[in-house]
Amino acid sequence: MYIIHVASECAPVAKVGGLADVVSGLAWEHSIRGNDVEIILPKYDCMRYDQVWGLTNSYNDLWVPWFGGAVHCSVWFGEVHGRKCYFIDPHSNDNFFNRGTFYGCRDDVMRYAFFCKAALEFILKSGKQPDIIHCHDWQAGLLPVMLAEIYQHHGLWRQRVCYTIHNFKHQGIFGHDILAATGLGRPEHFFSPTQLRDDHNPSVLNCMKGGVVYSNFVTTVSPKHAWEARHSNQSHGLGGTLHVHQGKFGGVLNGVDYNAWNPELDGFLPARYGINNVDDKYKNKDALRDRFWLYKSEKPIISYIGRLDEQKGLDLICHAAHYALAHGAQFILLGSASNHAIHNQFAHLRNQLGQSVDCHIELGFNEELSHLIYAGSDMVIVPSVFEPCGLTQLIALRYGTVPIVRSVGGLADTVFDKDYSDVDLGMRNGFTFNDLNNAGLESAMSRAISLYYDYKEVFRHIMLNGMKADYSWNHPGAHYMNIYEMIKHK
Ligand code: ADP
């Protein structure tokens, strides 16, 4: 099958969060199954050019209709660890992708509307005839809309779209200007409640709703989160639309790319290890302590790795730091915030705790360092308010690092409490809590810390259970192939 992913991120070349890992992991899984897989991305100035091999200008004369005129683009081709990637490079004064940042610009919706239009124009003009276009998150939500409303009438009529929602929180809200820019026009049509009109604010349109309405199949990234999206407020207002389109909506649990995340092969680790030599994990713990000048003792290291965003339970992350230090554990945080107030909150925490020989707070994005922290820590915490899937806990499991998580979304689908789960003992792999407050978090952290000190063998069983579980792309890859097959024949 010929599959093209259209996304705003792909690991490791343009990565902000889990979306990047999913695009890269799923593309790889499908290509090793013998499919022809390509990825279309923006050509950001801030992407990691050192991760692209053989970047060449592959299509120089792409003119993308835009407002009354057209924007000249070049399309570059390069391989990202074996994945075939095309990068859209517009030449216009808007400098859509030369902002020194991936997101956070006032015209983000305009930037990605342009990206969708350019991706379709490129597919059309280069004569590509993919079977499936797999679109991701709000940034690619307008692609199926433009495919159905414009491009199918120019020759792209065979293509079927699978749309994956990685995070309902950001939906891409816009108005008349984007209808004019993209050539979709017809506000009276698109402002209909069955089309793109936002379900809460009738004066605006919604990219993600467009993705849901116009795609042939819609997924989110775990079965539990698919349920939450339909039956609670976790779809951030899209529940009604999902209800209408429930027949083409489901949850597929993300996988982890075990080529990138495998402690037996990980080139970023001073000591590689697996189930058979798990004690070598502790050489990484030593190296991690050396790197941050942490005191060497029998204490466990509890870490947080992830974006610093309200979604992640910021107050609970701060509380976890204080609680860990007060209860015989060390604490490490690696996180980046796109919001200044949040950055300052954690800079303050760093000032408060940074002098401790048991604590290190690292603010910023650092892929290489994240590998050492996953390997060198004993536990990670993920106290999210909501979590569509969550990769942190899946990576941690592979590295024998016991997850302590709030039982929501994909965290509930993948972490099974040592004491209170209903799965077999051999599958119990971490600690969970429900209540979104300090008492809830403490109930899980205290059990984890006590087990670490008092029942070392049981703690090791929990670690090994996690390492044995298969959260590779094998199962989700097969699941997505079934979805593609199903919609291809519709
Ligand atoms: P989300 O998609 O909400 O950001 P996920 O848990 O699905 O959360 O994925 C997060 C991914 O990003 C993981 O691979 C994690 O290791 C990585 N990550 C997040 N923040 C950082 C950071 N500051 N430095 C390095 N890696 C990070």
Q: Mark whether 362 and 285 lie in a shared domain.
A: yes
Residue-wise pLDDT for 82-139, tens only, equals 999 999 999 999 999 999 999 999 999 999 999 999 999 999 999 999 999 999 999 9
Assigned token pair, 52:
């692209």
Q: Is residue 261 part of a domain?
A: no
- HEC readout, the chain: CEEEEECCCECCCECCCHHHHHHHHHHHHHHHCCCEEEEEEECCCCCCHHHCEEEEEEEEEEEEEECCEEEEEEEEEEEECCEEEEEEEEECCCCCCCCCCCCCCCCHHHHHHHHHHHHHHHHHHCCCCCCEEEEECHHHCHHHHHHHHCHHHHCCCCCEEEEEECCCCCCCEECHHHHHHHCCCCHHHHCCCCCCECCCCCCCEEHHHHHHHHCCEEEECCHHHHHHHHHCHHHCCCHHHHHHCHHHEEECCCCCCCCCCCCCCCCCCCCCCCHHHHHHHHHHHHHHHHHHCCCCCCCCEEEEEEECCHHHCHHHHHHHHHHHHHCCCEEEEEEECCCHHHHHHHHHHHHHHCCCCCEEEEECCCHHHHHHHHHHCCEEEECCCCCCCCCHHHHHHHCCCEEEEECCHHHHHHCCECCCCCCCHHHCCEEEECCCCHHHHHHHHHHHHHHHHHCHHHHHHHHHHHHHCCCCCHHHHHHHHHHHHHHHCC
Asked if the structure places residue 262 within a domain, the reply is no
In a domain, 311, yes or no: yes
pLDDT of residue 110: 98
- Are residues 97 and 162 located together in one domain of the fold? yes
The answer to whether residues 82 and 99 touch, using CB atoms and an 8 Å cutoff, is no
Residue 263: pLDDT band with limits 50, 70, 90: very high
Residues 192 and 309 in one domain: no
Same domain, 295 and 428: yes
Per residue in 358-394, pLDDT tens?
999 999 999 999 999 999 999 999 999 999 999 999 9
The pLDDT tens digits for 435-475 are: 999 999 999 999 999 999 999 999 999 999 999 999 999 99
pLDDT score of 13 more than 80: yes
Per the CB < 8 A criterion, the answer to whether 140 and 114 are in contact is no
Pair 404, 347 in one domain: yes
Q: Do 163 and 48 share a structural domain?
A: yes
CA 367 to ligand 1 centroid distance, Å: 9
- CATH code, domain with 295: 3.40.50.2000
Is 8 a pocket residue for ligand 1 (Cβ < 6 Å)?
A: no
CB of 122 closer than 8 Å to CB of 62: yes
- Which residue's alpha carbon is at the smallest distance from atom 18 of ligand 1? 306
Cβ-Cβ contacts under 8 Å for 138 (sequence gap 6 or more)? 112, 170, 171, 172, 207, 208, 211
Residue 267 domain-assigned (yes or no) = no
Domain check: are 379 and 481 in the same one?
no
Ligand 1 neighbour 345 (Cβ under 6 A): no
Q: How does the average pLDDT of the chain come out, rounded?
A: 97
pLDDT of residue 26: 98
Q: Give the pair of three-digit tokens for residue 229.
A: 């999206």
Among 259, 268, 370, which residue has the most ligand 1 atoms within 8 Å of its CB, making it the best to mutate?
Answer: 370
Q: Same structural domain for residues 280 and 418? A: yes
266 falls within a domain:
no
Q: What percent of the chain has pLDDT over 90?
A: 98
Both tokens of 311, joined, read: 């979604």
270 within a domain of the structure (yes/no): no
Look at residue 234 in the predicted model and tell me its pLDDT: 93
Question: What is the Cα–Cα distance from 363 to 306, expressed in whole angstroms?
Answer: 10
Residues 322 and 423 in one domain: yes
- Does one domain contain both 133 and 221? yes
Torsion of CA 73, 121, 185, 199, to 10 degrees: -100
Mutate to test the pocket of ligand 1, among 22, 220, 305, 380 (most ligand atoms within 8 A of CB): 305
The total domain count for the chain is 2
Q: What is the whole-number distance in angstroms between the Cα of residue 303 and the centre of ligand 1?
A: 13
- Distance in Å, CA 365 to ligand 1 centroid: 9
pLDDT digits (tens, 9 = 90+) for 27-76: 999 999 999 999 999 999 999 999 999 999 999 999 999 999 999 999 99
Whether 83 and 176 share a structural domain = yes
> What pLDDT does 57 receive?
98
Q: In degrees to the nearest 10, what's the CA dihedral of 386, 388, 392, 394? A: 130
Asked, for residue 115, whether it belongs to a domain, the answer is: yes
One domain, residues 478 and 462: no
Is the confidence at residue 200, as pLDDT, over 80?
yes
Token digits of residue 93: 């004064």
The span from the CA of 157 to the CA of 129, in Å, is 9
Report pTM: 0.94
Does 148 fall in a domain?
Answer: yes
Tens of pLDDT along 137-172?
999 999 999 999 999 999 999 999 999 999 999 999
pLDDT of residue 489: 87
259 lines ligand 1 (CB under 6 A): no
Mean pLDDT value across residues 413-427: 97
Q: What is the pLDDT at residue 222?
A: 98
Contact 187, 149 (CB under 8 A): no
Kindly tell me if the per-residue pLDDT of 490 is higher than 80. no
Range of the domain at 395: 275-468
